Amino acid sequence: MIFGRITSKKLPIAVLAILTLALVATGCGGGDDEKKASGPTCKDVPAPTRVAISDREAPKGKLSASKTYTATVATSCGTFVIDLDSKRAPRTGKSFVTLSKKGFYDGLAFHRIAPGFVIQGGDPNGDGTGGPGYSVTEKPPADLVYSEGTVAMAKSGTEPPGTSGSQFYVATADTDLPPEYALLGKVTKGMDVVKEIESHAPADDPTGQGGAPDQPIVIEKITISES
């Protein structure tokens, strides 16, 4: 399910001032020797294999609107946390929580990266065509804005608004997507990890819609907590 033929909003290009620093020789070295890696980095991992999925029934029920649910997503590039929107997306959240608790996402890849737009994963086929063997439909709020850090579900262009399976995406910038994609929640921690994943966008992207990362990036485990 490859969603979206709409690109992110065109944001003004920041003009960066280049500062020339006067270096004073001190006999203590410096320069490149003082540059240290900071922030998250991605581990080298093998590409995941496709997972055969048979038809299954969608989980029944909804998330409780009176509870708080979080999904901790451990990836080969680090960990980020999603606060699930149990009030506005209880059915979508229930499906995601059920799949996560069953280990469905463990070992699956982020198969699509579109810089300045989204990172997308959760497909057992690894190419944007797969799902869990069922779909659920929960029309998103009409005023929903897919701003940076918003997590929503991918769908094909022919499916009704709010249809979802297992594929989800994280918006890496404010987008102009219409409110057609089922809401899941918001990244509240680890946006730097999301950005690190985004930095591995394919070098060649002739369509402008993103593609497979320049190295395999996998979901190691999704852990659900509720309170």
> Could you read off the pLDDT of 187-224 as tens digits, one per residue?
999 999 999 999 999 988 877 789 999 999 999 999 99
Residue 107 CA to residue 117 CA, distance in Å, equals 24
* CATH 3.40.720.10 fits domain 70-226: no
Q: Does pTM surpass 0.85? A: no
Examine the pLDDT at 5 and tell me if it is beyond 60: no
Digit-coded pLDDT (tens) for 35-60: 345 789 999 999 998 877 766 889 99
Stated as kind and residue range, the H or E segment containing 80 is: strand 78-84
Q: How does pLDDT run across 7-29, given as a tens digit for each residue?
A: 444 434 333 332 333 333 334 44
pLDDT tens digit sequence for 121-180: 999 999 999 999 999 999 999 999 999 999 999 999 899 999 999 999 999 999 999 999
- Chain mean position to CA 30: 38
Written as six digits, the tokens of 170 are 């994280």
